[in-house]
A and B are shown apart, each in its own frame.
Chain A
Amino acid sequence: MKQRRKKAAKHDKPSPLVLRLYVANSNPRSQLARANLSTFCERYLERGYRVQIIDIVRDPESAFQNDILATPTLVRVRPSPQKTVIGALSDPSAVLRALDLPEQSVKPPSISFVQSAGEA
């Protein structure tokens, strides 16, 4: 999934929107967040964004450098200012608000969001 996204980002035109998701490897909430983020991106974002997923279990240094306490944490790295949202990203409109993205770009829902880790 990570590889696919990175590849996709590489081939697209450069875009100002860069998202970074910090997860803790095996954590169910983190997996849920990945799934939710993927759905969110497909539904709400125009092409040309970039998503990085960082596993802080494997890379503790980045947790320190970026002041990460909670997992999962989604950070809008660009455009600045930096915006942060924590949680399993189960409410897309909250994520939009948190990332300061316009609501009008919302496409009609095609996939329902998973609400909790148990259902994932």
Chain B
Amino acid sequence: MPATRVKPTKSIEKSPTGVAGLDEITNGGLPHGRPTLVCGGPGCGKTVLGMEFLVRGATQYDEPGVFMAFEETTRELNENFASMNFAISSLCAQKKLYVEHVRVERNEIEETGEYDLEGLFIRLQRAIDQVGAKRLVLDTIECLFAGFRDINLLRSELRRLFRWLKEKEVTAIVTAETGEGHLTRQGLEEYVADCVIFLDHRVADQNSIRRMRVVKYRGSLHGTSEYPFLIGSEGFSVLPLSSLRLNHKAGYQRISSGIPALDSMLGGKGFFRGSSILVSGAAGTGKSSLAAHFVQAACQRGEQCVYFASEQSPQEITRNMRSIGIDFERWVRKELLHFHSVRAGFCGLEKHLVMMNEEIRKFSPNVVVVDPMTNYGSIGDADEVKSMMTRLVDLFKSQQITAMFTSLTSAGHSVEDSIVGVSSLIDTWLLLRNLEAGGERNRGLYILKSRGMAHSNQIREFQLTDNGARLVDVYVGPEGVLTGSARAAQEARDRAVSQEQKQAVERKHVDLEDKRRQLEAQICEMRAKFEAEERELTRSMARLQARDEQTASDRVHMAHLRQQAGAAVRSNGRLLKEAV
């Protein structure tokens, strides 16, 4: 019995657009061989998107394209795209692109009786045959509605057109204007059911905001959010939320913060590569200096680094950092460090985001610094800023870029308030604090959090010296936490006290030594006395013994003499003994 086998379902084939970011949010491109509807208000970039789709197709994917312009003439198109780096006329000359203007003028045409749009079909076929087109753009097909009176006929012809496009297997973009309550004025979304992309261009707080949304993509996974995009000289640049899922790689590699003492506070090794670091603190707490150390360490490792500054010019930063012994100019010359200085208010959040994205694309840095991120808070409401920051953090993480953000906390606000809602996105949060005491201000640093690593809970004094930043243990004593000169004074006092104690001990030691010497002298003296007495005694005893011996010998001699004397001596023997 044959085993039943489930055939793998073939997902729909896609044509990569080559448009930066669009392929990511559409998960690979537009549906291959089918029409896609691109709708939006006037000036939202429909034509640019269409043209870029063709230009990229011709240059990057070897798919020639046809641009059918219903609004603009070929000359106008050429002029309009002259400011962009789209080599339209040269592509046309190489037979990779074919641009045709279809003139639709209502006033000149009378209608009587039934007709169809066979002319359009024939012209499309002719255009496709000119270059062997695989891609086609109809911009804006709704112009037809202005040219013909019979709406029902037009609708059935459009339906036929979209069927025809599918049969021809050209990947097409059909553009349309947004209508009241509908995606398009003429309800074209009914015909083009496979993929619908909506472009939006609005102005909020005098800032132009461009957004893109994939409204519908039959048979494919796609990002559903509104994605900011920008039209620059390189064409479209869509900034995706970089991924639909949270699937950042998480490495264990650690990189130095540039300050050895800070590294040791962070489990001895520094930050995780690819993590996001927030440095927050009030004005003048040394945020930029901390960031500068981080940058310097990266450059010393030979890594690429992009410094996004929104407050200072590169020259100012370079000058200011020289005062703490950091030479940025050297790294800029070595093309390791790249500055991107743009005032926050210069453009909208999206544009900033897109510009940052472009910089990252350009340099593919290992390390970035955003200094300060709080400035962007002034150009959008909290939600927008949060969304931008989420995207930014996401963007960096997805590319394994270690990012350091500095955040300015305004006076009167808790430090933890700094940049609402972003803190949860951050892996390591360093707080810099002004410690005011004894008529002076000192900087304190501590780690508020650092995910995935053991980290110090101690407050350190953060000193900026000519040779860079230094972290010093703060003085914690009975009088509380002391920093700066108070710490120095306390340390001096402590030193004095200990000196005194040391001296006292030394004195005691000398005294004791004296006493020992005295004692030993006494002992010597007594021993000498004793020895003298002992000697005397020995001498007396010797004398006595000598006398005894003398006496004995005398007696013997006497006895001898008495024996010589006779009997008298014998009878008086006892008497003589008693006398001795």
Contact = CB atoms under 8 A, between A and B. Distances in A.
Interface of A: 22, 24, 27, 29-30, 32-33, 36, 56-57, 60-61, 63-64, 67-73, 82-91, 94-95, 97-98, 116-117
Interface in B80-125: 100, 102-104, 108-120, 122-123, 125
Given A27-B118, A63-B122, A88-B113, 13 more contacts: A32-B114, A61-B126, A64-B126, A67-B102, A69-B102, A69-B104, A70-B115, A70-B117, A83-B108, A85-B110, A87-B114, A90-B112, A90-B113
Interface in B367-410: none
A85 B148 CA distance: 11
From B114, B120, B126, B147, name the one whose CB has the most chain A CB atoms within 10 angstroms.
Answer: B114
A86 B123 contact: no
A96 B100 CA distance: 32
A87 B112 CA distance: 5
- Main SS of the interface on chain A? mixed
Contacts of A24: 116, 118-119, 122
- Main SS of the interface on chain B? mixed
Contacts of B144: 69
From A57, A69, A71, A82, name the one whose CB has the most chain B CB atoms within 10 angstroms.
Answer: A69
Contacts of B111: 85-87
B122 A60 contact: yes
Contacts of B115: 29, 70-73, 86-88
Contacts of A57: 118, 122
Contacts of B102: 67, 69
A79 B119 CA distance: 24
25 contacts: A24-B116, A24-B122, A56-B119, A56-B122, A60-B123, A60-B125, A63-B122, A63-B126, A69-B119, A69-B144, A70-B115, A70-B120, A71-B117, A83-B108, A84-B110, A85-B110, A86-B110, A86-B115, A87-B111, A87-B113, A90-B114, A91-B112, A91-B113, A98-B110, A116-B113
Contacts of B126: 60-61, 63-64
Contacts of A82: 108
Contacts of A71: 115-119
Interface string B278-321: 00000000000000000000000000000000000000000000
A74 B531 CA distance: 158
Contacts of B103: 67
Contact of B114 (A22, A60, A61, A117): A117
Nearest to A59: B122
A70 B148 contact: yes
A88 B123 CA distance: 20
A91 to B, nearest CB: 5
Contacts of B119: 22, 24, 56, 63, 68-71, 73
Nearest to B101: A67
Contact of B110 (A60, A68, A94): A94
Interface in B394-431: none
A104 B142 CA distance: 40
Contacts of A69: 102, 104, 117, 119-120, 123, 144, 147
A116 to B, nearest CB: 7
B98 to A, nearest CB: 11
B319 to A, nearest CB: 64
Closest 9 CB pairs of A and B: A88-B113, A98-B110, A90-B113, A87-B113, A24-B118, A94-B112, A60-B126, A68-B119, A71-B118
B541 to A, nearest CB: 157
Contacts of A84: 108-110
A27 B116 contact: yes
Nearest to A33: B113
A38 B4 CA distance: 67
A97 B113 contact: no
A118 to B, nearest CB: 10
Contacts of A117: 114
A106 B166 CA distance: 48
Contacts of A83: 108, 110
Contacts of A30: 118
A89 B112 CA distance: 5
Interface string B257-270: 00000000000000
B112 A95 contact: yes
Given A67-B102, A69-B147, A85 B112 contact: yes
Nearest to A26: B118
Contacts of B125: 60
A91 B103 CA distance: 26
Nearest to B70: A69
Contacts of B120: 69-70
A113 to B, nearest CB: 10
Contacts of A27: 116, 118
Contacts of B147: 69
A88 B342 CA distance: 63
Nearest to B126: A60
A117 B153 CA distance: 15
Nearest to B104: A69
Contacts of A85: 109-112
Contact of A116 (B110, B114, B117, B148): B114
A59 to B, nearest CB: 9
